[in-house]
Amino acid sequence: VFQDYVPVFYGARVPALGLSNKAVEKCEEVLSTTNGDTHWEEESFQASPIELFAAPTEDCLQQNTLWPEVHKLYGHGYEVYGIAVNPAGSVLATSCKASQPEDAVIIMWDTSDWVKKSEIIGHQLTVTQLEWSPDGKLLLSVSRDRKAILYRERDENINGFSYEKFWSSGKEHCRIIWSCNWFSDSKHFVTASRDMQVILWECNSSGAVCLSTFKCPQPATSVAVDCGNEMSSSFIVVGLQDGSILLLNINEERLVIVHKFFVPPVPANEAVLRLRFNPADRNLLAVARNDGKLQILKLKSVISR
């Protein structure tokens, strides 16, 4: 298919004072001004295209591939921490690291032109995760301030940008809430916190109420719900600080452990940062850890019907 394809550039490199890599020609070299030799720091970032037989490393992507920037979204004062897009793909929500309320806002962007549309005020500290309900009507956020907040669009327009807070949790969690996720019915969601609690919530006309609380053996750092058609047939996976993963089920509105497992080899104290089920196959689970690695687990022997 690509027999007649000729690469335009030899590779890419990151300038000394730059953030984005730039294209380099095949014979281009960066020489030190002191003795005419290539400096070891510059040499380490020179392109060296290779034939790939496995997933590329970060260095390989940085040195040998060029990804031109299409848009930069300016609005946050600090590093972006949370990001989510609504089910229609029309609205993007982002948050950043924050130590004061004015920096803890959620910014809404229009994905058609990437223009900033609005800011949502609600939290006091960093918003750690954002999740839209599957029907696109509610936006859920959790934060370092130990609160979970629900927002809804003022005109009930799922493609709108005028979101307002209509519910905030109380003192159910007493430490930072790291993660949250929705059930497929858009009426129930779960939160996971450093206080070792996983809480199951139910939405109503006035907000949400706590249905069940589960105490984990370690601080909970991530949570995900599989894509079962009903809440009673869904599973909840919880990632813990020590790297282990709990598989929970709902039994008469109570959360109970179905299985606990480690993913060998598990490095010491490598927390599970994010979990996500494959929407097309509920037996496949993606696990992201603090060591920068991504693992795909097959849970067919655990989830069986």
pLDDT(305) > 50: no
Q: Is 8 exposed, middle or buried (0-12, 13-18, 19+ CB in 10 A)?
A: exposed
Q: How confident is the model at residue 137, as a pLDDT?
A: 95
pLDDT per position as a tens digit, 26-59:
545 444 444 555 544 454 455 566 777 877 887 7
pLDDT per position as a tens digit, 133-172:
999 999 999 999 999 999 999 998 989 999 999 999 999 9
Q: How confident is the model at residue 291, as a pLDDT?
A: 82
pLDDT per position as a tens digit, 86-139:
999 999 999 999 999 999 999 999 999 999 999 999 999 999 999 999 999 999
Residue labelled with tokens 């693992």: 295
Q: How far is CA 208 from CA 204, 252, 258, in A?
A: 6, 18, 26
pLDDT(21) > 50: yes
**Of residues 254, 107, 131, the one with CA closest to residue 186:** 131
Q: How confident is the model at residue 9, as a pLDDT?
A: 61
pLDDT per position as a tens digit, 179-230:
999 999 999 999 999 999 999 999 999 999 999 999 999 999 999 998 766 6
Give the global pTM: 0.81
Q: What is the mean pLDDT of residues 235-261?
A: 82
Domains and CATH numbers, the chain: 1-70 (no CATH), 80-265 (2.130.10.10)
Beta bridge partners of 249: 235, 256
Q: What is the mean pLDDT of residues 60-79?
A: 82
**Of residues 141, 295, 303, the one with CA closest to residue 225:** 303
